[in-house]
Amino acid sequence: MSHNRYPAAVDVAIVGSGPTASAYARILSEEAPGVTIAMFEVGPTVSNPPGAHVKNIEDPERRSHAQRASEGPGAGSQTVNSPGAVKSGDRLARPGTFLLPDGYAFPDEDGLPVGAMSSNVGGMAAHWTAACPRPGGRERIAFLPDLEHLLDEADRLLGVTSHAFDGAPFSNLVRERLASAVDEGRGPAFRVKPMPLAVHRREDGCLVWSGADVVLGDVTRANPRFELFDESLVTRVVLDDGRAVGVEVKSRRTGEIHPVAARYVVVGADALRTPQLLWASGIRPDALGRYLNDQAQVVFASRLRDVKAEDGQMAANGALSQQSGVAWVPYTDEMPFHGQIMQLDASPVPLAEDDPVIPGSIVGLGLFCAKDLQREDRVAFDDDTLDAYGMPAMRIHYRLTDRDHEVLERAKQEIVRLGNAVGEPLDESPFILPPGASLHYQGTARMGATDDGESVCSPDGQVWQVPGLFVAGNGVIPTSTACNPTLTAVALAVRGARKIAEELSTPLLMSESDNRMSK
Ligand code: FAD
């Protein structure tokens, strides 16, 4: 029997339920509480509250089930736990994510062989590492005068702190050793510091990783005008006379397609699927999908020298744990890589049996490199071939330029220098992960100061020439960044959400602006 669980009309339809889509729901719930909001997510709910990080699920079997349920068409495939494990050269996804089955590389191009996505309530942020550094130097978006304030807001929404691992064994030592290698000549913002992380401690002392649940917050969950629909694929943004007026939603439970009218549509469906949905809707500005950029990543491992086990330290199971600290070596324009230095409690390389690991003494170093942005690097779509969801299949064109290779060589030298500064290297040489491994894809729905053909949306995230349609996510970031992008993407979502809240609360201004936009 047919059953339509969707509303006929809402004020704002939001596509996706990751941290950027959730930021829209949160700001609208805070600043425009009278507004009706429907959020559509193609994947299932895998955690409680919806969108919560799966690392917060204590039972390993339930956690693994939640990861599998997030892997969409890739569920059941073998996965690798850490970026370093990709060293095997196999094309494997990380738990909770899935890879493109085809179209990820073309002859004579590098492609994005391990470009990944997640399909679950909360998106990739149910699986992420939660590092939330601020962009610096040329990573910043120069045409946004309020960027710093927006980043403060993103910190608030994600629950970011730099003190989660205060007191973690050897974390001060790691930072001191890194600082002595890099801080000289750097301004205060660019010196080594604890990594800001989206994490908090419960009253019982346990760590809770922020997911989209934290971004949504109690205010959204308590908002009677907000509804989240999981297992709901948005197949099309509906336009009327050039303006977004709603979406078509396909229930993954019944297979039925239903229209939902909306005054505003926000697409926060990740950097690959946001352009896919616009393409499928016939919204095809030339910049769509272009300037795709991933942060090439180099990894290396070291073991702290001259340290002794402290009383009461418990070995955990090889992942980032409560014993772990994360240090940040910020990007600079001169050294265009971002360092994420994680203390692990198990070695990524086998050690002798009579050589037990002191928790916190193994250091996994990762440098993310800023890409040399190219218009031709892009996600394109094949109208004649459908993906597992029935959407136009993705075709990735992606090349590392000579400059990218130069930066990677410098990053390799730098990571060895950092590894030697903190301890004794465990790896013979640094390893470059295959393109896509960073899980930080940007540029495909990029923001611009003006509609000059090189951008998809305005500084508010509104798609040029399509009133009522906003885009969100890492794809909106227009600069070449090396730092983890989610904080910045959430900051940009705050700006867009405020724009909608403002327009919805001033109907007269809204219609004036609509007239202007449709001319
Ligand atoms: P996503 O979180 O990807 O959410 C998009 C959602 O949209 C998905 O749930 C998807 O199913 C849904 N969707 C797509 N198409 C449709 C459609 N047509 N209809 C309905 N729904 C749709 N970032 C950092 O900044 N710091 C880190 O330390 C970090 N570590 C990471 C570690 C791992 C293992 C992983 C997997 C990711 C990591 N990331 C990190 C990346 C981070 O998770 C993403 O940047 C972030 O989640 C992006 O948020 P988003 O809202 O743009 O998209």
CATH no. for residue 455? 3.50.50.60
Do 179 and 88 lie in one domain? The reply is: no
pLDDT at residue 155 is higher than 80:
yes
pLDDT of residue 346: 64
pLDDT of residue 74: 87
Contact 375, 288 (CB under 8 A): no
pLDDT at residue 197 is higher than 80:
yes
Query: To test the ligand 1 pocket, which listed residue (270, 338, 481) has its Cβ within 8 A of the most ligand atoms?
Result: 270
pLDDT of residue 507: 59
Do 169 and 244 lie in one domain? The reply is: no
Do 303 and 340 lie in one domain? The reply is: yes
Do 365 and 417 lie in one domain? The reply is: yes
Centre of ligand 1 from the C-alpha of residue 19, in Å:
7
Centre of ligand 1 from the C-alpha of residue 100, in Å:
15
d(CA 325, CA 196): 11
Question: Is 379 among the domain residues?
Answer: no
> Is the Cβ atom of 16 under 6 angstroms away from ligand 1?
yes
Residue 475 alpha carbon, nearest atom of ligand 1: 52
Question: Closest Cα to atom 10, ligand 1: which residue?
Answer: 119
Question: Is 497 among the domain residues?
Answer: yes
Do 179 and 110 lie in one domain? The reply is: no
* Active-site residue, selected from the candidate residues 53, 127, 338, 440: 440
Do 304 and 327 lie in one domain? The reply is: yes
The CA–CA distances, whole Å, from 50 to 101, 120, 272, 487 equal: 28, 9, 23, 20
The amino acid present at 84, given as its one-letter code, is G
> Is the Cβ atom of 278 under 6 angstroms away from ligand 1?
no
Question: Closest Cα to atom 14, ligand 1: which residue?
Answer: 269
Domain boundary among 380, 411, 427: 427
Query: To test the ligand 1 pocket, which listed residue (39, 40, 128) has its Cβ within 8 A of the most ligand atoms?
Result: 128
* CATH number of the domain enclosing 416: 3.30.410
Global pTM?
Answer: 0.95
| Residue 200 appears among annotated catalytic residues | no
> Is the Cβ atom of 501 under 6 angstroms away from ligand 1?
no
pLDDT at residue 310 is higher than 70:
no
- Average confidence (pLDDT) over 371-395: 98
Least confident of 257-261, 281-285, 419-423, 515-519: 515-519
pLDDT of residue 353: 67
Question: Is 394 among the domain residues?
Answer: no
pLDDT at residue 114 is higher than 80:
yes
pLDDT of residue 347: 64
Do 270 and 300 lie in one domain? The reply is: no
What mean pLDDT, rounded, does the chain reach?
92
Centre of ligand 1 from the C-alpha of residue 416, in Å:
31
> Is the Cβ atom of 273 under 6 angstroms away from ligand 1?
yes
Residue 130 alpha carbon, nearest atom of ligand 1: 28
Question: Is 88 among the domain residues?
Answer: yes
Measure the CA angle with vertex 71, ends 68 and 73; round to 5°: 120
d(CA 164, CA 325): 8
Question: Is 81 among the domain residues?
Answer: yes
pLDDT at residue 312 is higher than 50:
no
pLDDT of residue 107: 97
Do 421 and 288 lie in one domain? The reply is: no
The total of structural domains in the chain comes to: 2
Do 309 and 164 lie in one domain? The reply is: yes
Do 121 and 228 lie in one domain? The reply is: yes
Contact 41, 201 (CB under 8 A): no
Range of the domain at 285: 1-159+211-295+435-519
Do 198 and 255 lie in one domain? The reply is: no
pLDDT at residue 468 is higher than 70:
yes
Question: Is 222 among the domain residues?
Answer: yes
Do 203 and 243 lie in one domain? The reply is: no
d(CA 331, CA 326): 16
Question: Is 416 among the domain residues?
Answer: yes
Question: Is 385 among the domain residues?
Answer: no
Contact 197, 10 (CB under 8 A): no
Query: To test the ligand 1 pocket, which listed residue (486, 488, 490) has its Cβ within 8 A of the most ligand atoms?
Result: 486
